[in-house]
């Protein structure tokens, strides 16, 4: 008997293949799968945001408007902070992410002009 066997009172589970595994590890695995799904959704949302911003860029180009719209950027940043508070996440962190998203769009918009 190993030291771990003597000290643990946790019920033992087996995988389909009959190997023993730690239930704490199993839930860690489930949680990581959940994170994986969320991460894919985040990338999908970034792609959607980028696509719409590209369309905005085309409209601006057609109307001879500049790529950058600082007042719109301020509105986006303010909304990001409001939503961060609503969902109880760090507003500075969320704002930093949105700053990056905006810069990403502007870099792409400049390239396509
Ligand atoms: C997408 C736009 O173009 C730029 C990018 C923005 C963004 O990514 O949110 C906001 C303002 C603009 O500087 C826009 O004007 O709405």
Tell me which residue of 113, 90, 100 sits closest to 49, measured CA to CA: 100
83 lines ligand 1 (CB under 6 A): no
| 23 Ramachandran zone, left/alpha/beta (phi>0; psi -120 to 50) | alpha
Rg (CA), the chain: 23
- The H-or-E segment that residue 108 falls in is helix 91-111
Per-residue model confidence as pLDDT tens for the chain (113 residues)? 444 444 444 456 566 666 666 767 778 988 999 999 999 999 999 999 999 999 999 999 999 999 999 999 999 999 999 999 999 999 999 999 999 999 999 998 888 77
Please tell me the residue having the least CA distance from ligand 1 atom 8.
102
Please tell me the residue having the least CA distance from ligand 1 atom 10.
73
pTM over 0.90: no
Domains and CATH numbers, the chain: 3-111 (1.20.59.10)
Q: Please check whether residue 98 is in contact with residue 76, taking contact to mean a CB–CB distance below 8 angstroms.
A: yes
Number of CB atoms found within 10 A of residue 98's CB: 19
- Report the distance separating Cα 110 and Cα 113, nearest Å: 5
Please tell me the residue having the least CA distance from ligand 1 atom 6.
102
Tell me which residue of 39, 43, 41 sits closest to 104, measured CA to CA: 43
Pocket probe for ligand 1: among 69, 98, 103, 109, the residue whose CB has the most ligand atoms within 8 Å is 69
């Amino acid at each position: 008997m190993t030291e771990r066997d003597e000290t643990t009172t946790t019920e033992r589970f087996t995988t389909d293949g009959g190997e023993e595994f730690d239930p704490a590890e199993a839930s860690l695995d489930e949680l990581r799968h959940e994170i994986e799904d969320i991460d894919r959704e985040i990338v999908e949302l970034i792609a959607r945001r980028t696509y719409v911003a590209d369309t905005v860029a085309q409209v601006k180009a057609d109307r001879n408007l500049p790529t950058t719209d600082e007042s719109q950027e301020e509105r986006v940043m303010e909304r990001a902070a409001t939503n961060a508070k609503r969902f109880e996440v760090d507003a500075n962190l969320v704002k930093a992410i949105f700053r990056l998203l905006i810069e990403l769009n502007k870099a792409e918009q400049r390239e396509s002009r």
